[in-house]
Structure 1
Amino acid sequence: MRVEDSATKSRTIAVDVAGTTTSNRGGVVLACLGVAAFSLTFPSTVWGLESFAPWSLVALRAVLAALIAGGFLLAGRVPPPDRAHRAGLVVVAAGVVIGFPMLTTLALQTSTTSHAAVVVGLLPLTTAVFSSLRTGIRPPRAFWLAALAGAGVVIGFTVGQSGGALSAGDLYLFGALLVCAAGYTEGGRLAVVMPGWQVVGWALVLSLPLAVAGAAVALPLEPVRMTAHGVIGLVWVAAGSTFLGLYVWYRGMAEIGVPRASQLQLAQPLLTLGWSFFLLGEDVSAAAPVAAVAVLVCIAVTQRAGRARPRAEEP
């Protein structure tokens, strides 16, 4: 009986890690809060660029976020992560803390926030693919069909809203898509075995030496023009997007699984377009409400169909 119970428990844990049976509403709320925080990243970056050049902004963003995270880790007397988790934390740091902010900031020099939202429209699908490859979990066909439909709606809407033109920053955006999906996948996996805020915290601390070096090089070489928007933008991308947003996002992914959580991000480009209109004064297409409803339908389908199944084990 003990052997059978142990085997059953092992299978249950494996399924929960993959996000196949977990339907915790709290996890959905946390993931949604993360999406809301991330939706402000592009407009805040545009504000930050009013005061800082791209390399300075990225470096200062990472330094401030790492100091916040380090303060929490010290206050909680959190021991260093296990050796087995350090490689994964490096992937999170390289993809989410350094790679995505750097590439999107460079892209936003030539792209509008509306156009840059294309990368976020593709991110949920890319994250689901990375997660499937990394964990061996295959969500059902209905999940993939809904995810593809949602990505198609978002891409069609955002590209149409920007006039269908490709900007010089597109290569940066596609690179950001890949590194961020890898960081999300690895962070979601680690958040199952350690608290989400510690995943974010240690990834930020690992990036601190590189961020300090980058700031030391960039600040003397690039112009700095302090404005209220610039300071607010820097503070938000550091404390809001990079620390708080990633904290609730990884906690949400740990509870409901990477594939299901990733599809909630289909709403992020539309939220970003709304912020772009209110904060930056960018024009938003009248098709936004129609696209919003279509995306919400796709999200609902992915959440119902997101109970992925693990690959069948060999007899």
Structure 2
Amino acid sequence: MDRVTSGWINGLIGVVIFSASLPATRVAVMQFDPVFLTVARATIAGGLAVFLLFVFRQKRPGRSDLVSLVIVALGVSVGFPLLTALALQHITSAHSIVFIGLLPLSTAIFGVVRGGERPRPAFWIFSTLGSALVAGFALTQGASASPTGDALMLAAIVVCGLGYAEGARLSRTLGGWQVISWALVLSLPVMIPLTVLTMPQTFTGVTLPAWLGLAYVSLFSMLIGFVFWYRGLAQGGIAAVGQLQLLQPFFGLALAAALLHETVTWTMVAVTVAVIVCVVVARRFARQERARLTAQPETSYTPSADASRGR
């Protein structure tokens, strides 16, 4: 199997893993407090990250990387999980998945802010159109939707886009999965005490599905998914494999219907498709400038290579 094909396969596995995050969070938040769920998943994933970094003897990040790692931790490890957990107390996972169609756009916008890219005006036209479609969908739901849940999902998309863009920028020097691992480790001194403080007095009555939801978002959504995702980006190219993220709403809607028996309306599907079309066109107009700015070779880290160098 050639490197590019392997990259697409790894990227697809990562997207499928991320697609189950919202349905799993929806199941878990029915019986766990959203704050406890957020800090507990970060603590569990952070413990696994410590183990992996120690076993593979990964080099420590430099002082200049700390600010970026804090941004990644706040956006991906804390912000997005907490905001989505809070949102899913008000809306269904099927409804929330529509907003995920804006995640590639959010990441691209922060790529402009943090990476200095300058897309053409057509990029912003389709970006605005996609945002308007999502906002219009939320407004037309009326009593069946929650303005609070929608606002929380929009905030989650913003902070996650920032975390993805910052992580992608940092991965060029630090390595792919190492970025999320060090971000998780960096958050542990705060996450562990908060996990103890927010832990319920008793776990009596917590059912198996809730425990499975917690386990999934802790191990797969917070860490394992990033292993495949960043490996796919490194092997197949960020611009090419990154397009696979546009499939996430489709996978998520299918999982919400199959696992949670939630209703997926034709309007949800239509808006999701329309948003994806807008994002695809917008990214096409941004591709030329992004390619010029990212033409320099990126550093690709492998555990064996770092192990040979040691700490």
TM > 0.5: yes
The aligned residue for residue 46 of structure 2 is 66
Structure 2 residue identity aligned to 1:45? T
Name the structure 2 match of 1:194: 174
Superposition TM-score, scaled by structure 1 size: 0.78
Alpha-carbon deviations, 1:92-111, whole Å to 9, x = none? 11110011101110111111
Equivalent residue number for residue 220 of structure 2? 240
Q: Residues of 1 paired with 2:43 and 2:243: CA distance?
A: 30
Deviation at 1:283, TM superposition (A): 0.8
SS of 1:137's partner is coil
1:121-148 deviation digits (Å, cap 9, x = unpaired): 2222121111011111134556555655
Distance 1:100 1:162, change over 3 A: farther
The answer (yes or no) to whether the contact 2:102–2:279 under 8 Å persists in 1 is no
Q: 2:237: which partner in 1?
A: 256
Q: SS at the partner of 1:308?
A: helix
Partner of 1:276: 256
Q: Are 1:172 and 2:152 counterparts?
A: yes
Which residue number in structure 2 is paired with residue 95 of structure 1?
75
- In the other structure, the counterpart of 2:194 is 214
Alignment length (residue pairs): 289
What is the SS of the residue equivalent to 1:284?
coil
CA contact (8 A) 2:18 2:221 kept: yes
User: Post-superposition shift, 1:222?
Assistant: 7.6
Is 1:229 the counterpart of 2:237? The answer is no
Q: 2: CA distance between counterparts of 1:212 and 1:252?
A: 31
Aligned partner of 1:19 in structure 2 is: none
Check conservation: 1:66, 1:201, Cα contact below 8 A: yes
Structure-1 separation of matches of 2:202 and 2:103 = 31
Say yes or no: does 1:52 pair with 2:66.
no
**Distance apart, 1:117 and its partner CA:** 2.1
Aligned to 2:303: none
CA distance in structure 1 between the aligned counterparts of 2:156 and 2:92, rounded to whole angstroms = 16
Match of 2:94 in 1: 114
Q: Which whole-Å CA distance do the structure 1 matches of 2:82 and 2:209 have between them?
A: 19
What letter matches 2:237 in structure 1? I
Supply the distance in 2 between the matched residues of 1:227 and 1:32 (Cα, whole angstroms). Answer: 31
The 3 A distance-change label for structure 1 pair 196 and 27 is same
d(CA) in 2 for partners of 1:121, 1:155: 12
In structure 1, the residue matched to 2:115 is 135
Identity %: 39
CA deviation after TM superposition for structure 1 residue 240, in Å: 0.9
Of the structure 1 ranges 302-311 and 96-105, higher mean CA displacement relative to structure 2 is found in: 302-311
Q: Aligned with 2:147: secondary structure?
A: coil
TM-score of the pair, normalised by structure 2: 0.79
**Other-structure match for 1:203:** 183
Cα 1:185–1:102 change in 2 (3 A) is: same
| 2:176/2:231 contact within 8 Å kept | yes
More displaced stretch, 109-118 vs 141-150: 141-150
Task: Deviation per CA, 1:265-307: give whole Å up to 9, x if none.
Answer: 3332232111111111111124566667656655665676553
The letter of the residue matching 1:32 is L
Instruction: For 1:304 and 1:83, locate their aligned partners in 2 and report how far apart those are by CA, in whole Å.
Output: 36
Residues 125 and 263 of structure 1 are in contact (CA less than 8 Å); yes or no, is this contact kept in structure 2? no
Residues 268-307 of structure 1 mapped to structure 2, 5 A cutoff: 268-286=248-266, 301=281, 307=287
Bigger CA drift: 112-121 or 56-65? 112-121
2:205, 2:104 → 1: CA distance?
A: 36
Q: Are the equivalent residues in 1 in contact too, given 2:98–2:268 (CA < 8 A)? A: no
Unaligned runs of 5+ in 2: 294-311
Preserved contact between residue 45 and residue 105 of structure 1 (Cα < 8 Å): yes
Kindly state the Cα deviation for residue 169 of structure 1 after the two structures are TM-superposed.
2.2
Whether the aligned pair in 2 keeps the contact of 1:150 and 1:295 (CA below 8 Å) is yes
Contact 1:31 1:250 in 2 (8 A): yes
TM-aligned CA distance change 1:277 to 1:300, over 3 Å: same
Alpha-carbon RMSD? 3.2
CA deviation profile, 1:34-63 (whole Å, cap 9, x unmatched): 222111111101221244221221121111
Counterparts in 2 of 1:126 and 1:300: CA distance versus 1, 3 Å: closer
Determine helix, strand or coil for the equivalent of 2:102. Answer: helix
Q: CA deviation at 1:220?
A: 3.9
